[in-house]
């Protein structure tokens, strides 16, 4: 995680320099400052700083060094269990379809987005409670 924190701090510096170069370049070219791109690049730098700060704080609070930061680590040292995922579940596919309907509705008509939102909520509840009914009910 040490490399990750350093990477985000490098991104902060890069985006701040890029915002300054973008502003100066546009001012030289047109005589005005283009605020949308300048503020957008500055916000990317701020968000990178937030992530870099968070990752750095998490790194300091951990008692051990991660496998990614050790030079003597093997590939097998970093392959811990990442979580439990249902191999036969159709709920994530249905939820992605509901999200696709929401985004389609934003482009075409709000009524499609409403239908996609309702279906998305139903599919999210189904995915959440998948193991509390049927064969796996407690």
Q: Do 65 and 116 share a structural domain?
A: no
How many domains would you assign to the chain?
Answer: 2
For the segment 79-97, what is each residue's pLDDT rounded down to a tens digit? 767 677 777 889 999 999 9
What string of DSSP letters covers 5-34?
HHHHHHHHHHHHHHHHHHHHHHHHHHSS--
Query: Which range among 23-37, 69-83, 107-121 shows the weakest confidence by mean pLDDT?
Result: 69-83
Token readout for 15 is 């985006």
Q: Do 64 and 31 share a structural domain?
A: yes
Q: Who has greater pLDDT, 138 or 51?
A: 51
Q: Do 58 and 30 share a structural domain?
A: yes
Q: Who has greater pLDDT, 5 or 13?
A: 13
For the segment 6-38, what is each residue's pLDDT rounded down to a tens digit? 999 999 999 999 999 999 999 999 999 999 999
Range of the domain at 26: 2-72
Residue 30 is predicted with a pLDDT of: 93
What is the spatial distance between Cα 118 and Cα 56, in angstroms, rounded to a whole number? 39
Residue 137 placed within a domain: no
Q: Do 68 and 29 share a structural domain?
A: yes
pLDDT at 137 over 60: no
């Amino acid at each position: 995680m040490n490399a990750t924190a350093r990477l985000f701090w490098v991104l902060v510096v890069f985006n701040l320099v890029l915002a300054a170069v973008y502003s100066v370049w546009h001012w030289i070219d047109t005589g005005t400052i283009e605020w949308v791109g300048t503020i957008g690049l500055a916000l990317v730098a701020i968000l990178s700083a937030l992530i870099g700060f968070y990752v750095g704080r998490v790194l300091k609070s951990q008692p051990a060094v991660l496998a990614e930061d050790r030079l003597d680590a093997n590939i097998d040292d970093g392959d811990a269990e990442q979580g439990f995922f249902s191999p036969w579940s159709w709920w994530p596919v249905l939820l992605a379809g509901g999200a696709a309907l929401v985004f389609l509705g934003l482009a075409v008509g709000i009524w499609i987005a409403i239908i996609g939102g309702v279906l998305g909520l139903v599919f999210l509840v189904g995915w959440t409670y998948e193991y509390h009914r049927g064969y796996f009910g407690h």
